[in-house]
Amino acid sequence: MAIQTIYTLSQDDPEARNWLGFFQRRGYSRLTSVRMERVVWLEGSFNIERLLPLLVNPLYQVAAEKPQLDPKQGPIVEIAYRPAVTDPETPSILAGAHALGESGLQFARLSRRYQFCGLDNAAAKSLAARFLYNKVVERIREPNEIVTTLQPSGAPDPVGSISLRGLSDDQLAALSRQRSWYAPLSQMKVIQSHEPERGRPYTDAEMEILVQSWSDHCYHTTWKSLGLLKKLMAATRQINHPLVVSAFTDNAGGMEFADGWVVTIKGETHNFPSSIAPFGGIATKHGGVIRDTLGFGKGAYPIGGTTVMGTMDPRLPDDQVPAGALHPGLIVSESIRATAYYTNPMGIPMMHPVYRCHPGYAKCFALGHSLGLIPKKYALKESPQPGDVAVLFGGATGRDGIHGATASSAAMTGDTLEKESAAVQIGHPITERRFTTAIPILRDRDCIHSITDLGAGGISCAAGEMGAGTGVAIDLDTVPLKDRSLTAWEILLSESQERMLMAVPAEKLDEALAILDRFEVASCILGHFTKTRRLEATWRNQKVVDLEMSFLWNACPIDSTPTARPVRVEVRPQLSEVSGRDEWGKAVSNVLSHYHCCDQSPAGSRFDSTVQGRTALGPYGTSGRMPTGIYVSAPLRGRAEGIITTLAFNPFYGELDPAGMARLMMIEAITKAVAAGANYREMVLCDNFYTPRVRPETAFDLVEMVDAIATLSVELGTPFISGKDSSSGTFEAAGKRIDVPPTLAVAAMGRVHDVNAIVTKEFKRAGNRLVLLGLTDPDSLGGTVYADTRSHRVGRLFKPADAQSVKAQWDYILNLHARRACVSASAIAEGGLLLRLFEAALGSGLGAEVNFESFPRGRRDGHLFGEFIGACLLEAAPGFEIPEKVPHFFVGSVTAEPNLKLREGNAVIWQESIANLTETWSRTFREVVK
C-alpha cells in the first residue's frame, strides 16, 4: 500500500522557543536554536490534495512532501511511536479524513523531527532520550529506514508455564527477583504450596496475577499487617456522621450534599512513576484519580481536582542530586506541563496547585485529588449478578505500565530509572474525556450494576475484584490492542490508561453499547459474570487463567511488621530574636521568598480553574495572584449551596514529630475552611500517607500517625471517608538511603449553604482592626518556614490546643461569621501571621500596620512567623472586641497605603511597599519554571 508523508513547519513556533530555553537552562549551553518539524504519515489510496485542509493550515504552517529542515544546520532527531503501537492521534486523523470523503486512507501516524543547532549528533540523541520521548512506546526513527506499512505489527510470545515445585527458598526468591515480581518469600511459599492441589503448574498469567494482586500497592499488605485501615474505618464508624454516604469501601468517599446529590472525594499518589518519568507519571496520576471518581458508585462526574508535589529543592545544584534520581527542577517543571496536558482537556477545574520541597523527597510525592458529583440513588454499587456482561471500554490495551504495581511497591534504586521505565503509563486525555461524557448517561439509564477503573493490575485486578463474589469468565481475544505483540499475561496486566470496566445487566447491553458508540467510546464485551467463584480467562483457544477467587483474595499471607520507637532527640534551635530594621527586612524577605510561601502562580495559572462554570472561588483571588488557600464550588448550577475544599501538607513538620504533624494537618485543613465560614460539623476528610519503606522505626511512626488522626477525628467528630497509603518512600543508590519524611496530606471537604457568604482572605477596608484568634506559642518554631530560612529545621513543633478548645474556637469564629462581624479571615499556616498579612494586602490593594505593643509577651519574631495551626487572622470594624476567655491578641490595623509596617508604639521598626515585597515573593518560583 502506498505511503505518503507531509512535513510541516510552523512559521512562528513558541513551543520550539520554549524547548530552547528549557535545554539551555539544563546545561546545553552550546545549543543555539531548536526547530521542530511535524510529519504526517499516510497509508492507503487517497487524494492528498483533499486531505491537506485537515493536515495543514497554510496561514501558519508550511507543508511539503520532503523534509524542510536543512541537515547542514544541525543534527536532526526524529521521534515516532514504535511500530507495534498505535498513535493516539490516529483515530482523529482517520475520522477527519473519512469526513472529507477520503475513506481510502487506511492508516496514519505522526512523528516529530527536532533540529538541535550547535550540538553534535550524539549530544542531540542523548538530549532527546532524556527529555523528549518515552522508550516504552516511542523510538528514534533512523533516516534511511524503509517503511513498508504503518499498521501495527508484531507477534506475541506463547503462553508460558511456571512450576514452583521443589524450589528452595533461595530459588523462589531468585525467581521473584528475576521476573520483577518483588514478591516476599512468604507469598512465594503460599503459591508454591497451593500448586499440588491444582494438579497442574501455573501459567505465566496466573503467576503474574497472584503476585500483582498481592503487592503492597494493590493489597496494602503493610497497612493490613499493622491494622491501620481498620483503625480509621472504626473511628469513622464510631463518629457515625449523618452526612457520610460511603466511606473507604468504594473508589472514593461520598458525603451527602443537597437536593439528592452526593459529593465524593479521593486522593491518589503516583510517586514512583512520577519520580522516574514525571510527564507520564503525573499525567496518569490525574487520569487515574479522575477515573476513581468515575468509578464511584454507579459513576460520579468529576468536578474538581488538585495537584500536590513534594520534591527535593528544585534549585538544587546538579552535583547534589543523588545519582540515579532525576533533577527535582525537572520533576517540577515536567509535572506542571503534565498537569496542564491532562486536566485542561479533561475540563476539570484546578482547586489546589501546591508545591513543597524537602531533602527526603528523592523519590517524589505526587498526589492528586478528584472531587465528584453523583445523584444519591446511584451512590452505592450493586454486586454484579451472574449473567451480567463485563464491558470493557475506553482506550486500547498496550504495553505501557506492565509491572507498575509491583515496581511501585519496591524501593527505588539508582538503576530503577533504566530498568523499570516500562512501568510508566502514557496518558491520553481525549479518550478519558469521551467516556466522562458517556458515563452519567449510562448511569441514568440504569445500564450500570457496577463500575470501576482499570488501574494497577489492569484487567486482572478490575475483573477479579468486581467478580470476587460471583466469578467471572473473560475472553482476551476481544480486547482491542494498540500493540499486536502482547501475550495473554501482558493483556491481563497492562496498565494502559483510560480504561473502565462495568457490569451491565444482560437486557441493557444493547442500550449500553449504543450509548458508548454515540459518544465514540471504543468498547468490547470482555466476558460475563458467572456462579463459579473463579477467575477464568481464555486466549487463542487456550485457558490461560483458572484461579479460585477464594485463593486469589484470601490466601495472601500477611507478614507481621515489627515496630520500634525511633530515637528522636529534640534539638533546641539557637535562634536569636531579630531586631533592627535590616534584620527585620531580611527576615520578612526570606520568608516571603521561601519555596513554600512564594508565588506559585507561574504553575497554577497554567491550569484551568473556572471550566464547568461551577467555580465560586478559585485558587487565586478575583484580581491578581493572591492565593486564596481555599476552593469553593457551586456544584448545582443556579443554586447557592457550595462545597469548600482545603488542603494541608507540610513535610517539615513530619520529620520532627510524625504524630504531632498528623494532628496539625487535620486542624489546619479544617481551620482553613472554618475561617471562610464553613461549619466543621458538615465536613469530611481524606488522608494520603507517604512513608519510607517499612522498617521497625518507620512502622512505629506510621502507627503513631494513624492512631493520632483516628483519635482526633473521633474527638472532633470529623470523619475520614477516603484515603490512600504508600509505604515505599525510600530511594537507595550507591549504598546511600534517602527516606521521605513521614508525610500525611489532609484534604477537607465541607458543605456551605451559600457560596456568596464565604468570607475571603483579602482586606476589605482601611482602618479596620486586625486580630489573631487562637492559641499561640512564639517559642515553638520547629518546622516553621522561618526556622528553615535560618537553616534550622530542628526544635519543638507547635502544639495545638486540645480538641474541645479547638472546637470552641471554631464555634466562636462561626458565630462571628453568622453575625457578619468579620469582613476578612484566613487561617495561619506556613509563613505564619506575616504571610497572611502580606497576601491579604496583595489581594486588596491595601496595606497593614502591625503594632507590637498590643502583642503578648514573648519574642516578636516568634509571634509574627510562628505557625500556630488552628489560629486565624480576622479583620473587623475598628471598635471590635473579643472576650478575655477566647485566646487572641490584636495585631494592628488595615491601612490605605499599600505598605507593610511594623511598629513598636510610635516607633516604626520596619516598613516596605507591597509592590516591592511582591517582587521578592514572585521571584522564587519564576526561577524554577522559567
If one asks whether residue 395 binds another protein (CB under 8 A), the answer comes out as no
Work out the number of other CB atoms within 10 angstroms of the CB of residue 543: 13
3-state secondary structure 113-132: EEEEECCCHHHHHHHHHHHC
Q: Grid coordinates standing for 281?
A: 507519571
By residue count, the chain amounts to 930
| Comparison of 620 and 653: residue with beta carbon closer to another protein | 620
**What's the rounded Cα separation, in Å, for the pair 503 and 343?**
27
Closer by beta carbon to another protein, 622 or else 854: 622
33 forms part of the interface with another protein (CB under 8 A): no
- Residue 53 as a binder of another protein (CB under 8 A): the answer is yes
Residue 49 lies near another protein (rule: CB under 8 A): no
CB of 638 to another protein, least distance (A): 6
Contacts of 507 (CB under 8 A, 6+ apart): none
101 binds another protein (CB under 8 A): yes
Using CB under 8 A, which of 623, 815, 913, 916 touches another protein?
623
CB atoms within 10 A of CB 519: 16
Using rule CB under 8 A, residue 304 touches another protein: no
User: Minimum distance from CB of 36 to another protein (Å)?
Assistant: 12
- 352 and 308 Cβ atoms separated by less than 8 Å: yes
Q: Is 513 left (phi over 0), alpha (psi -120 to 50) or beta?
A: alpha
Please report whether residue 85 would count as binding another protein according to CB under 8 A. no
**Least distance in angstroms from the C-beta of 168 to another protein:** 53
Do 392 and 459 form a contact (C-beta atoms < 8 A)?
yes
Q: Which helix (H) or strand (E) holds 275?
A: helix 271-276
Helices marked H in 199-254 — which ranges? Answer: 204-213, 216-219, 221-226, 228-239
Contact present, 43 and 58 (Cβ < 8 Å):
no
Judge whether 798 and 869 are in contact, CB under 8 Å: yes
Q: Please name every residue paired with 648 in a beta bridge, in sequence order, or none if there are none.
A: 746
CB 703 to another protein: min, Å: 41
Cα separation, 34 vs 27, whole angstroms: 15
Q: How far is the CB of 288 from another protein (least distance, A)?
A: 19
* Rounded least distance, CB 441 to another protein, Å: 11
Rounded to a whole number of angstroms, the minimum distance from the CB of residue 442 to another protein is 15
73 near another protein (CB under 8 A): no
Please tell me whether residue 261 binds another protein under the rule CB under 8 A. no
Q: CA–CA separation, 761 vs 701, rounded Å?
A: 35
CA distance 725 to 835: 31
Which is nearer to another protein, 100 or 814 (by Cβ)? 100
Task: Determine if 604 is a binding residue for another protein (CB under 8 A).
Answer: yes
Q: How far apart are CA 315 and CA 349, in angstroms?
A: 29
When asked if residue 88 is in the footprint of another protein (CB under 8 A), the reply is: yes
Q: Which of 292, 498, 608, 687 binds another protein (CB under 8 A)?
A: 608
Least distance in angstroms from the C-beta of 486 to another protein: 24
Looking up cell 546545553 gives 28
The yes or no reply on residue 642 touching another protein (CB under 8 A) is yes
Nearest approach in angstroms of CB 147 to another protein is 21
Determine, following the binding rule CB under 8 A, whether residue 14 of this chain makes contact with another protein: yes
Question: 702 is written with which cell numbers?
Answer: 506510621
Compute how many other C-beta atoms are within 10 angstroms of the C-beta atom of residue 898: 17
The end-to-end CA distance of the chain, in Å, is 46
Among 117, 229, 233, 640, binds another protein (CB under 8 A): 640
Residue 898 near another protein by CB under 8 A: no
Binds another protein (CB under 8 A): choice among 4, 26, 67, 89: 89
Cα distance between residue 285 and residue 262, in whole Å? 24
Beta-bridge partner residues of 105 = 44
Shortest reach from residue 283's CB to another protein, in Å: 13
DSSP string, 283-305: HHHHHHHHHHHHTSTT-PEEEEE
Tell me whether residue 304 or residue 458 sits nearer to another protein (CB atom).
304
Contact stretch for another protein (CB under 8 A) within 227-235, 493-501, 605-613, 891-899: 605-613
Single residue of 85, 255, 300, 350 touching another protein by CB under 8 A: 350
Residue number with CB closer to another protein (342 or 868): 342
The rounded distance, in Å, linking the Cα atoms of 619 and 350 is 8
Residue 13 near another protein by CB under 8 A: yes
Query: Residue 245 or residue 371: which is nearer to another protein going by CB?
Result: 371
Of positions 273, 329, 368, 429, contacts another protein by CB under 8 A: 429
893 in Cβ contact with 770 (< 8 Å): yes
Binders of another protein in range 319-348 (CB under 8 A): 340, 344-347
**Contact (CB, 8 A) for 369 and 305:** yes
CB 62 within 8 A of CB 366: no
Which stretch, 424-432, 474-482, 686-694, 831-839, contacts another protein (CB under 8 A)?
A: 424-432
Check if the beta carbon of residue 4 is closer than 8 Å to that of residue 152: no
Name the residue nearer to another protein (CB basis): 93 or 396: 93
Least distance (Å) between residue 430 CB and another protein:
3
C-alpha dist (Å) from residue 559 to 210, 319, 422, 704, 776: 16, 39, 29, 20, 44
Q: Which is nearer to another protein, 10 or 589 (CB)?
A: 10
Query: Which residue carries 509574627 as its cell?
Result: 864
Angle between helices 832-842 and 580-592 (to 10 degrees): 70
Considering only 106, 609, 780, 922, the residue that binds another protein (CB under 8 A) is: 609
- Site stretch for another protein (CB under 8 A), options 155-163, 607-615, 810-818, 869-877: 607-615
Residues in binding contact with another protein, number by CB under 8 A: 63
Cβ closest to another protein, residue 482 vs residue 796: 482
Q: Does 520 sit near another protein (CB under 8 A)?
A: yes
If binding is defined by CB under 8 A, does position 610 make contact with another protein? yes
Contact 758, 380 (CB under 8 A): no
For the CB of residue 135, give the shortest distance to another protein in the complex, in Å. 23
- The position carrying cell 491532562 is 342
Under the binding rule (CB under 8 A), the answer on residue 312 touching another protein is: no
Of 58, 158, 562, 580, the one binding another protein (CB under 8 A) is 58
Nearer CB in complex with another protein: 102/788: 102
Kindly state whether residue 414 participates in binding another protein, applying the rule CB under 8 A: no
In terms of phi and psi (left: phi > 0; alpha: psi -120 to 50; beta: otherwise), the region of 21 is alpha
Would you count residue 17 as binding another protein (CB under 8 A)?
A: yes
* Range in contact with another protein (rule: CB under 8 A) among 57-65, 185-193, 384-392, 582-590: 57-65
Question: Which residue, among 302, 471, 361, has the nearest Cα to 729 in the 3D structure?
Answer: 361
Give the three cell numbers for residue 918: 511582591
Residue 622 sits in the site that holds another protein (CB under 8 A): yes
Q: Interface with another protein includes 138 (CB under 8 A)?
A: no
Among 64, 95, 514, 571, binds another protein (CB under 8 A): 95
Q: Rounded to the nearest whole angstrom, what is the least distance from the CB of residue 334 to another protein in the complex?
A: 14
Give me the amino acid identity at 264: T
Q: Which of 765, 766, 768, 761 is nearest to 877 (CA)?
A: 768
In 3D, which of 848, 645, 625 has the Cα closest to residue 758? Answer: 645
Nearer to another protein, 98 or 377 (CB): 98
What's the min distance (Å) between Cβ of 33 and another protein? 15
Residues that bind another protein (CB under 8 A): 10, 12-15, 17-18, 40, 53-55, 57-60, 88-89, 92-93, 95-96, 99-101, 340, 344-347, 350, 428-430, 433-434, 437, 518-520, 604-617, 620, 622-623, 634, 637-638, 640, 642, 755-756
